[in-house]
Amino acid sequence: MTIEVDLPVPRRALAIGAHADDVEFGCGATLAKWADAGAHLTMCICTDGSKGTWEHDADLGALIASREDEQRDAAAILGVADVVFLRYVDGELESGLGPRAAVSRVIREHCPDVVLGHDPWQPYRIHQDHRHAGLLAAEGIVAARDPHFFPELGVAPHRPRTLLCFEPGRVTHVEDVEGYVDRKIDALLAHRSQWRSTMAIDDRPEDQRAAFARMLHDEARAAGLRAGLRAGEAFARLDDL
């Protein structure tokens, strides 16, 4: 199967993740590269992150607030201009009409040429929020582009050009991210409340941070190899939306 390399830098792009930190894992280096090239970038986080801790007695109100602060810091590191929080309850995201209208409103208001989101068709995925967030990106595009979907939103339709699905079940596109992997790592490390649960940084932070960075560089190298690049981020690409 042919693998395409590098879209033209979009004028505007929108990355949709289920939780704070998902977008950085999936396409952080690509966003940093596009931001440096002058793209206007928006992130949309679907859930409130209220299940993102292993501490049984955590103050969930404080956790939600700190996860939003961390997300804004990560966005700033990448050069993302806007962050939209939809605040659905973590672990309970669904891809029904209500959330689809909310995502289609974000697409219509921010007018992206490219939308990036979880691959909802990735096999053997157990986290339902990731599957539903991926479906919301895909189905939100269908609703955003056609005028008879959700006319009550009162926002003009918008048709993005391309959908890039990250964590792809099938790789059809790679972005060259040589020189941008460290920005991705810095943005991920801004999610301090996730160090333990998603980055395995806990009781030996120095060593474990270094191991986490090595893992991200290894992943980028493996993705890049598919397309003869030194570092890449891999996607399933859908055009002609």
204: burial class by Cβ within 10 Å (0-12, 13-18, 19+)? exposed
CA-nearest of 68, 71, 132 to 99 is: 132
Angle at 216 between CA 213 and CA 222, to 5 degrees: 140
The contact pattern for Zn ion, residues 2-21, with x = CB under 5 A and - = no contact, is ----------------xx--
Which residue's CB is nearer to Zn ion, number 164 or number 227? Answer: 164
Distance CA 146, CA 196 (A): 43
Q: Residue 234: which H helix or E strand, with range?
A: strand 232-238
**Residue 29 CB, nearest distance to Zn ion (Å)?**
18
**Residue 100 CB, nearest distance to Zn ion (Å)?**
19
Which residue's CB is nearer to Zn ion, number 22 or number 176? Answer: 22
- Closest chain position to Zn ion (CB): 19
Which residue's CB is nearer to Zn ion, number 46 or number 181? Answer: 46
**Residue 19 CB, nearest distance to Zn ion (Å)?**
4
For residue 126, which phi and psi values (nearest 5 degrees)? -100, -20
Say whether 54 sits in a helix, a strand or coil: coil
Per DSSP bridges, beta strands 162-166 and 114-118 are: parallel
For residue 222, which phi and psi values (nearest 5 degrees)? -65, -40
**Residue 4 CB, nearest distance to Zn ion (Å)?**
26
Q: Are 44 and 100 in contact (CB under 8 A)?
A: no
Which residue's CB is nearer to Zn ion, number 176 or number 194? Answer: 194
Determine, following the binding rule CB under 5 A, whether residue 22 of this chain makes contact with Zn ion.
Answer: yes
**Residue 215 CB, nearest distance to Zn ion (Å)?**
17
Which residue's CB is nearer to Zn ion, number 105 or number 130? Answer: 130
Determine, following the binding rule CB under 5 A, whether residue 86 of this chain makes contact with Zn ion.
Answer: no
Determine, following the binding rule CB under 5 A, whether residue 132 of this chain makes contact with Zn ion.
Answer: no
**Residue 125 CB, nearest distance to Zn ion (Å)?**
11
Which residue's CB is nearer to Zn ion, number 63 or number 227? Answer: 63
Q: Are 52 and 67 in contact (CB under 8 A)?
A: yes
Question: Tokens 């964590």 map to which residue?
Answer: 167
Which residue's CB is nearer to Zn ion, number 21 or number 139? Answer: 21
Query: Site for Zn ion (CB under 5 A): how many residues?
Result: 3
Say whether 41 sits in a helix, a strand or coil: strand
Amino acid 26 reads: G
**Residue 130 CB, nearest distance to Zn ion (Å)?**
6
Binding site for Zn ion (CB under 5 A): 18-19, 22
